Amino acid sequence: MSLLANVLGFSLFGLAARFGQLGIQKRNLFTNPGGHLLAMGVFGYGGYWAYKWDIRAAELLAAKRAQITERRQKQIEQSAAAEGSE
Protein backbone atom coordinates (compact mmCIF):
# COMPACT_ATOMS: atom_id res chain seq x y z
CA MET A 1 0.00 0.00 0.00
CA SER A 2 1.37 3.42 -0.86
CA LEU A 3 2.04 6.18 1.61
CA LEU A 4 -0.62 8.45 0.11
CA ALA A 5 -3.30 5.75 0.26
CA ASN A 6 -2.39 4.94 3.86
CA VAL A 7 -2.51 8.58 5.01
CA LEU A 8 -5.75 9.29 3.14
CA GLY A 9 -7.39 6.14 4.46
CA PHE A 10 -6.52 6.96 8.04
CA SER A 11 -7.62 10.58 7.51
CA LEU A 12 -11.00 9.48 6.20
CA PHE A 13 -11.33 7.17 9.17
CA GLY A 14 -10.59 10.18 11.41
CA LEU A 15 -13.31 12.18 9.65
CA ALA A 16 -15.75 9.30 10.10
CA ALA A 17 -14.82 9.08 13.79
CA ARG A 18 -15.43 12.82 14.17
CA PHE A 19 -18.82 12.53 12.47
CA GLY A 20 -19.65 9.59 14.70
CA GLN A 21 -18.66 11.57 17.78
CA LEU A 22 -20.84 14.53 16.81
CA GLY A 23 -23.67 12.19 15.84
CA ILE A 24 -23.64 10.61 19.29
CA GLN A 25 -23.74 14.08 20.85
CA LYS A 26 -26.55 15.05 18.41
CA ARG A 27 -24.69 18.18 17.33
CA ASN A 28 -24.59 19.74 13.88
CA LEU A 29 -21.93 18.00 11.79
CA PHE A 30 -20.84 21.07 9.83
CA THR A 31 -20.55 23.84 12.43
CA ASN A 32 -16.83 23.45 13.28
CA PRO A 33 -14.73 22.39 10.29
CA GLY A 34 -11.53 23.03 12.28
CA GLY A 35 -12.35 20.05 14.47
CA HIS A 36 -12.77 17.90 11.39
CA LEU A 37 -9.41 19.03 10.04
CA LEU A 38 -7.75 18.37 13.39
CA ALA A 39 -9.18 14.85 13.58
CA MET A 40 -8.15 14.14 9.99
CA GLY A 41 -4.65 15.47 10.64
CA VAL A 42 -4.15 13.40 13.77
CA PHE A 43 -5.41 10.22 12.15
CA GLY A 44 -3.44 11.01 8.98
CA TYR A 45 -0.27 11.29 11.03
CA GLY A 46 -1.16 7.93 12.58
CA GLY A 47 -1.40 6.53 9.05
CA TYR A 48 2.00 8.00 8.17
CA TRP A 49 3.50 6.44 11.30
CA ALA A 50 1.86 3.08 10.56
CA TYR A 51 3.28 3.14 7.01
CA LYS A 52 6.78 3.93 8.27
CA TRP A 53 6.51 1.20 10.91
CA ASP A 54 5.41 -1.31 8.27
CA ILE A 55 8.46 -0.48 6.13
CA ARG A 56 10.81 -0.71 9.12
CA ALA A 57 9.28 -3.99 10.31
CA ALA A 58 9.72 -5.48 6.82
CA GLU A 59 13.40 -4.48 6.88
CA LEU A 60 13.89 -6.01 10.33
CA LEU A 61 12.17 -9.24 9.27
CA ALA A 62 14.29 -9.49 6.11
CA ALA A 63 17.49 -9.02 8.14
CA LYS A 64 16.39 -11.64 10.68
CA ARG A 65 15.49 -14.12 7.92
CA ALA A 66 18.94 -13.60 6.39
CA GLN A 67 20.58 -14.28 9.78
CA ILE A 68 18.53 -17.43 10.27
CA THR A 69 19.37 -18.70 6.77
CA GLU A 70 23.07 -18.02 7.34
CA ARG A 71 22.98 -19.83 10.69
CA ARG A 72 21.20 -22.83 9.13
CA GLN A 73 23.78 -23.02 6.36
CA LYS A 74 26.59 -23.03 8.92
CA GLN A 75 24.86 -25.80 10.88
CA ILE A 76 24.44 -27.86 7.72
CA GLU A 77 28.10 -27.40 6.82
CA GLN A 78 29.19 -28.32 10.35
CA SER A 79 27.05 -31.45 10.41
CA ALA A 80 28.32 -32.45 6.97
CA ALA A 81 31.91 -31.92 8.12
CA ALA A 82 31.26 -33.93 11.30
CA GLU A 83 29.77 -36.82 9.27
CA GLY A 84 32.68 -36.72 6.84
CA SER A 85 35.28 -36.95 9.63
CA GLU A 86 33.67 -40.02 11.18
pLDDT at position 1 is 67
pLDDT at position 27 is 92
Q: What residues of the chain score a pLDDT lower than 50? A: none
Q: Which domain holds residue 46?
A: 3-85
The total number of structural domains that make up the chain: 1
pLDDT at position 84 is 74
Q: How many angstroms separate the Cα of 40 from the Cα of each of 7, 31, 50, 74, 80?
A: 9, 16, 15, 51, 59
Report the distance separating Cα 45 and Cα 5, nearest Å. Answer: 12
pLDDT at position 71 is 96
